[in-house]
Amino acid sequence: MNYVRIAADECKGCRLCVQNCPNNCLGIGSEINQMGYQAAVFKNPNCTACGICFYVCPEPGAVTVYKNEERINA
């Protein structure tokens, strides 16, 4: 299974990942993180592990992509 893990406290809620996912896999959650932002959340199983969300994210460490359970970005 492919999926993306968002480190909620690293996310500033900029939505770049949400807007650029070709499969509409990401959204903005309702919870406020420790920095006062509403963090992105992974919301559906159609992820192809393309990595676009990782590449567009300005926050190092916020997005980790897993392809068939294997981590594909540092």
With CB under 6 A as the rule, give the number of residues binding ligand SF4: 28
Tokens of residue 58, six digits: 């300005």
CA atoms of 17 and 39, how far apart (whole Å): 11
Neighbours of 30 (CB within 10 A): 8
Per-position x/- string for 10-49, each x denoting binding to ligand SF4 as judged by CB under 6 A, each - no binding: -xxxxxxx---x-x-xx------------xx------xxx
Supply the DSSP symbol for 73.
-
Q: What is the largest CA-CA distance in the chain?
A: 33
- Minimum Å gap between C-beta 32 and ligand SF4 is 13
- Minimum Å gap between C-beta 53 and ligand SF4 is 3
Q: Which residues bind ligand SF4 (CB under 6 A)?
A: 4, 6, 11-17, 21, 23, 25-26, 39-40, 47-53, 56-57, 59, 62-63, 65
